[in-house]
Amino acid sequence: MKQALALLMILALAAPLAAANNNNDAPTATPTYYGQVQSILEQECQVCHRPNGANLGGMVAPMAFTSYQETRPWARSIARQVESGLMPPWHAAPQHHGVFENERSLTEDQKATLIAWAKGGAPMGNAADAPPAKVWERSDGWTIGEPDLVMDMGQDFFVEDDVRDQYVNFETVITEEMLPEPRWIKAVEFRPGGPVVHHIIARPFGGIAPGNDPTVHHDGFGTLVKPGTTIRWNMHYHKEPGPGTGTWDRSSVALRFYPKDYKPDHVMQSKSMGKFDFEIPPGDSNYVATTTAKFERDALLLGYTPHMHLRGKSAHYLAKYPDGTEEVLLDVPRYDFNWQTHYKYPAGGKKIPAGTEIELTMTWDNSADNPANPDPTKTVVYGGPTTAEMMFGFVSYADAEAGYNPSNTGFLSQQRFNREEFRKTIKERFGVDWDSLSEEEQGEIFRRYRRQQRQGADSDAGEGTVSGGE
Ligand code: HEC
């Protein structure tokens, strides 16, 4: 019965196709590399798939597609990857099509062309027909352009043979020789010193994990860096342990500044929404956690970076506006730990009114059906290693008012954050009156308060991954 139905459907579908073919003298020719494929690869794939292509926090495409000879052996794999939606890597739901400026996606046409080319035997076509191959400007330089300041973690570090996961902290200081005066940052790019670097967090510049693009602020937005600033590096190394696998690292971060006389209107800020007190039962295929945060002033949302570990399944950011309406800001239905994507709005960001609440919902799959799950029999709680879990919804944003100093107030506050309660706690724990402290003292006390709150929780938390703005 089912088969008969399927046959009927095929016939029904085939009939109009046949008719169309009759009207069309020549059947559609198989696309060729030089005819159609090369230009799609140039537009959508070569940013990563070329010699020394984009290094997204250690994610480097293992093969280049910059010539017919290089691409031909991968034709079937290309068709598979494109058909299944795995390449190009982009994990936001289709409803967000056109919303984020760094979207990586193919049109239906481009998809069909790549698939038809592979299925048709991946023909070369005629090189003379093709426009000259795209020349990539900097094949091994910084993608943000020539940096004004490059800093590394200050020493070579050896990751031993027997290491699987290792966290190491370093501190370096930006001296006045390196940076004679405060400057506004236009762009930040991290460079892992080797393939075993799993993430770098270097406060206050944010950090990078596999799949992250470098941070480039839109004109009018930036963060300030001052001489004397201490950079706190938190390195996570990850590899298969074994004899001969030990390797050196000296990772670095590069900054590009705005011109000296330029002051951006908006200070870019980054906060993490999340929870530390979840407990994912063994075998649970859909564990859900939710948290909310509220904007106290009009704000410009600039982007989001959802962060979970190997059991992460989906991430959902919902805006609840003060007028009662709601809007899905970001839906990532099939979260992939390997791609720590920052979903970035185009210039100007997305304006939201004071009183907007953001609700973050994340889910995890701790069942055996999750192929990435290292152990479905374990109860999973918060922790640093990729085998423990995290719940972070990083939000980057700026105050909507030009020239506003965000350290005054008005940042994203967690729903349970009660000002009076907070002042009382500070008084009890530190014996000081919050309102009488200077801005710097408040910063120091707040950091101590936060450290206590986390109670030894791994420092992967906090304002990582997205370029920080504290
Ligand atoms: C943002 C960078 C990026 C872009 C853009 C990108 N890729 Fe990839 N691609 C990668 C990385 C990184 C890998 C290695 C994947 C891994 O290790 O999980 C990969 C792997 C692949 C593979 C090999 C999969 C396998 O069999 O192991 C194919 C085929 C592929 N990409 C095709 C494409 C095509 C076609 C496009 C454009 C339509 C594209 N990619 C765009 C980064 C990218």
Using the atom order of ligand 1, give the atom closest to the CA of residue 59: 12
Going along the chain from its start, the domains and CATH numbers come out as 27-129 (no CATH), 149-257 (2.60.120.310), 268-454 (2.60.120.230)
Looking at the CA of residue 54, tell me the nearest atom of ligand 1.
2
Name the DSSP class of 74: G
- Residue at 126: amino acid letter: N
- Ligand 1 atom having least distance to the Cα of 211: 1
Q: CA angle, corner 56, sides to 81 and 255, nearest 5?
A: 160
Q: Ligand 1 centroid to 58 CA: how many Å?
A: 14
Going by alpha carbons, the residue nearest to atom 42 of ligand 1 is 61
Query: Ligand 1 center to residue 61 CA distance, Å?
Result: 6
State the distance from the centre of ligand 1 to the C-alpha of 391, rounded, in angstroms: 27
How wide is the angle at C-alpha 341 spanned by C-alphas 309 and 237, nearest 5°? 50
Answer yes or no: is the C-beta of 44 below 6 A from any ligand 1 atom: yes
> Can you point out the beta strands (E) in 295-401?
299-307, 312-320, 326-332, 343-344, 350-352, 357-364, 380-381, 392-399
The atom of ligand 1 lying closest to the CA of 110 is: 38
Do residues 399 and 410 make contact, with C-beta atoms less than 8 angstroms apart?
yes
64 lines ligand 1 (CB under 6 A): no
- 454's tokens: 């986390």
User: What pLDDT is stored for residue 155 in this prediction?
Assistant: 94
Residue 160 CA to residue 250 CA, distance in Å, equals 14
Q: What pairing do the DSSP bridges indicate for beta strands 266-267 and 221-225?
A: parallel
Q: Report which ligand 1 atom has the smallest distance to the Cα of 106.
A: 38
Structure tokens at 60: 């480097």
Indicate whether residue 87 lines ligand 1 (CB < 6 A).
yes
Distance from the alpha carbon of residue 13 to the mean position of ligand 1, in angstroms: 33
Q: How many A from CA of 48 to the centre of ligand 1?
A: 8
Spatial separation of the C-alpha atoms in residues 74 and 51, rounded to whole Å:
16
CB-CB contact of 292 with 278 (8 Å): no
Residue from 33, 49, 77 to probe ligand 1 pocket by mutation (most atoms less than 8 Å from CB): 49
Residue 87 CA to ligand 1 center (angstroms) comes to 5
> 45 in ligand 1 pocket by Cβ < 6 Å?
yes
Give the pLDDT score at 198: 83
Q: For atom 37 of ligand 1, which residue has the closest CA?
A: 45
Cα of 73 vs centre of ligand 1, distance in Å, is 14
Q: How far is the CA of 380 from the centre of ligand 1 (A)?
A: 31
Whose alpha carbon is nearest atom 29 of ligand 1?
A: 78
Q: Whose CA is nearest to atom 35 of ligand 1?
A: 78
Which atom of ligand 1 is the closest one to the Cα of 82?
Answer: 35
Give me the tens of pLDDT residue by residue for the chain, a chain 470 residues long: 444 444 444 444 444 443 333 444 445 689 999 999 999 999 999 988 988 777 666 677 889 999 999 999 999 999 999 999 999 999 999 999 999 999 999 999 999 999 999 999 999 999 988 888 888 765 557 888 899 999 999 999 999 999 988 889 999 999 999 999 999 999 999 988 888 888 888 888 888 777 677 889 999 999 999 999 999 998 989 889 999 999 999 999 999 999 998 999 999 988 889 888 889 999 999 999 999 999 988 999 999 999 999 999 999 999 999 999 999 999 999 999 888 889 999 999 999 999 999 999 999 999 999 999 999 999 998 887 778 899 999 999 999 999 887 664 444 444 444 567 778 888 888 888 888 887 778 778 877 887 776 654 333 333 332 222 22
Q: What's the pLDDT score for residue 96?
A: 96
**Ligand 1: does its nearest atom lie under 6 Å from the Cβ of 37?**
no
Q: How far apart (Å, rounded) are the C-alpha atoms in residues 141 and 154?
A: 21
Query: Is the CB of 122 within 6 Å of ligand 1?
Result: no
The Cα 311–Cα 210 span in angstroms is 16
* CA 448 and chain centroid, separation: 28
Q: Which of 45, 136, 342 to mutate to test the pocket of ligand 1 (most atoms within 8 A of CB)?
A: 45
C-alpha 375 to ligand 1 mean position (Å):
27
75 CB under 6 A from ligand 1? no
Which of these, 416, 422, 288, 296, lies nearest to 357 by C-alpha position? 296
Q: Which uninterrupted H or E stretch holds 170?
A: strand 165-173
Ligand 1 center to 55 CA (angstroms): 12
Q: Which two tokens stand for residue 196?
A: 């075993």
What's the CA-to-centroid distance between 59 and ligand 1, angstroms? 10
Q: Are 85 and 102 in contact (CB under 8 A)?
A: no
Ligand 1 centroid to residue 35 C-alpha, Å: 22
